Structure 1
Amino acid sequence: MSKSEPGKKELLMHVGIAGLASIGILLFVFYIYLPITTNHGESMTVPNLEGILLDDLGEFLEERDLRYEVEPDSGYSPKFPPLAVLKQFPLAEAKVKEGRKIYITLNASKPPVVKMPSLIQRSLKNAQLELRSLGLLLGEIRYKPDFALNTILGQYYKGKKLKAGEEIPKGSKIDFEVGDGLGNQTFQMMNLTDMDLDEAVFVMRGYGLKLGDVFYEKEGKIIKEKEASNGEAVIESIEAEPGRVFKHTPNAKNKARIGQEIDLWIVEVDSTKIEEIPTLDLVSD
């Protein structure tokens, strides 16, 4: 054996020891030192901050080892009080490390104002869409006799009529006066007694009336008022024929309004009810 062989073995041994030491150091750094110093593998869930007031935010986040920073821009929502959190980043349920800064947007201390447009003569559905685009809310809907069904007749804010161009706070409720599609035209009710159902429906349709409830009875009397030779009124009661109207409400002594429902009483035919009743709706031009 040459003298150089022990030297080579010794060198290889030192190299091996140095390699093992390097590996050990790397393992220590990556699996022990770095996790301790950087909290590697430790994370927390970001809480939902929406609606929390700014005065309560610091303590709330400090208890959870988090920080916050308020963004310069603000927004507005009528759902939350002034200076409450509207938005946050990172979002709720996100995973972050301890000490992470949460960026928040606050609700404005005062609601911004918007100019109210004129919604008169526009449809209720269209008006709702317009309100939503302006950040306004739909309030009370009051129906008023008018032939223009669901058409805006008046717009109000806090009980006062609202003119186009008036400034109101965003998030305000706007009340509307809306047409009911019937109008307020009244007239003397016609006499439908002694008519069959089809004839009564035809006459009612011509006056813009609706068919209400239809009641069938085994017998009924038609009350007629006639003038006697001496000028006095004489009340006459006659039996109604089967299938004929013998009573209706309102009757011919009362006023009726366009769109009103009229209830009919009819004598049964062969003690059986007519199964199909004609539908009666207002006819629009």
Structure 2
Amino acid sequence: MSQISTNSKKDLYTHIGILISLALVFFFGFFFLYLPWSTHHGESIKVPNLKGMNMTQMEDLLDENNLTYEITDCTFTADKPPLTILSQYPLPNSLVKSGRKVYITINSETPPMIKMPGIIGLSVRSAEQQLVIAGLKKGLVHEINDPRVKEVIEIQVNGKKIEPGAAIPKGTMVDLFIGNGTADVEVELPDLTGKPLDEVNIILAGMNLQVGKVNYETNSEATPGTVFKQACATCTGLTVKPGDIIDLWVAGSGE
């Protein structure tokens, strides 16, 4: 193996120059060739927007982009489908390296149980605020005969009455029943016989009574289109109260 002579200063300087050159080649080769190749320096992936996707869609999209994921939290949002992606980190459009893990929060399959707040006696607006704070939703508002005007008298879920403090799923729709300022005062049952059906409808609506079943029958003694018989299954004696149902028999075929 040949050696470089170091008998003179020129030889020594030549020797040092060769060593420096080799060091520079190694330095630049490592940092500008090997390191970028081994770490894919300069290659980046844009993180896709996962929010609103289901788990299958999310997994397929991350696979396409050579990314992985980890579920870090599970919460419940009533207006989102179960197992929907609610949030992510890194945020959408962030630039990351291949294989980066995306941390996600998903919507729970089962809503948590919460206590119905005490909204009896509140106005509709105040009751709605309390429902929102508790994670519930205001459903239909029904007026019922009660002297307490616009106050919540009763609450129902899916047609069933519930009491404050009852455990119900978060996000449940709650129907409110409020007073219309009318007490259950009984009045005399009106005589509707001999009156045209359209006039009878007006009379009953004005008394806050409901038209029940309308039966059309042939009656030679009554003018066609007029009421010749009435009945009230919910009445007591000859008196009625707001909300009672009046069944009618009308002369004619109803055509």
TM range, smaller chain: 0.5 to 0.7
Could you give the per-residue CA deviations for residues 17-57 of structure 1, whole angstroms, max 9, x where no partner exists?
22222223222222222112112222222122223222333
Look up the equivalent residue of 1:79 and give its one-letter code. D
User: Hey, what does 1:33 align to over in structure 2?
Assistant: 34
Please state whether the residue corresponding to 1:50 is helix, strand or coil. coil
Matches within 5 A, 1:73-152: 73-143=73-143, 150-152=150-152
Please state whether the residue corresponding to 1:177 is helix, strand or coil. strand
User: Hey, what does 1:12 align to over in structure 2?
Assistant: 13
2-structure distance, mates of 1:9, 1:146? 114
Q: CA deviation at 1:179?
A: 4.9
Could you give the per-residue CA deviations for residues 185-210 of structure 1, whole angstroms, max 9, x where no partner exists?
8xxxxxxxxxxxxxxxxxxxxxxxxx
Could you give the per-residue CA deviations for residues 63-115 of structure 1, whole angstroms, max 9, x where no partner exists?
111111233x4211122222222232222232211111112232222111112
1-structure distance, mates of 2:95, 2:119? 48
User: Hey, what does 1:57 align to over in structure 2?
Assistant: 58
Look up the equivalent residue of 1:81 and give its one-letter code. P
RMSD: 2.7
Q: CA deviation at 1:8?
A: 1.0
Q: CA deviation at 1:129?
A: 2.5
2-structure distance, mates of 1:97, 1:15? 41
Normalising by structure 1, we get a TM-score of 0.55
Normalising by structure 2, we get a TM-score of 0.61
Aligned identity (percent) is 37
2-structure distance, mates of 1:111, 1:39? 44
User: Hey, what does 2:69 align to over in structure 1?
Assistant: 68
Please state whether the residue corresponding to 1:80 is helix, strand or coil. coil
Please state whether the residue corresponding to 2:50 is helix, strand or coil. coil
Unpaired runs of at least 5, structure 1:
186-254, 257-285
User: Hey, what does 2:170 align to over in structure 1?
Assistant: 170
Look up the equivalent residue of 1:131 and give its one-letter code. L
Look up the equivalent residue of 1:98 and give its one-letter code. S
Please state whether the residue corresponding to 1:139 is helix, strand or coil. strand
Moved more, 50-59 or 22-31: 50-59
2-structure distance, mates of 1:16, 1:126? 87
Please state whether the residue corresponding to 1:74 is helix, strand or coil. strand
Q: CA deviation at 1:170?
A: 0.9
2-structure distance, mates of 1:48, 1:57? 9
Please state whether the residue corresponding to 1:40 is helix, strand or coil. coil
Are the structure 2 counterparts of residues 11 and 150 from structure 1 closer, same or farther at C-alpha, using a change threshold of 3 Å? Answer: farther
Q: CA deviation at 1:148?
A: 5.6
Q: CA deviation at 1:146?
A: 6.5
Look up the equivalent residue of 1:33 and give its one-letter code. Y
Unpaired runs of at least 5, structure 2:
1-5, 184-205, 208-255
Verify the 8 A CA contact 2:136 2:170 in the aligned structure 1: yes
User: Hey, what does 2:46 align to over in structure 1?
Assistant: 45
Look up the equivalent residue of 2:64 and give its one-letter code. E
Look up the equivalent residue of 2:154 and give its one-letter code. G
2-structure distance, mates of 1:150, 1:94? 52
Are the structure 2 counterparts of residues 26 and 120 from structure 1 closer, same or farther at C-alpha, using a change threshold of 3 Å? Answer: same
1-structure distance, mates of 2:30, 2:149? 78
2-structure distance, mates of 1:150, 1:92? 47
Query: What is the aligned length?
Result: 180
1-structure distance, mates of 2:53, 2:159? 33
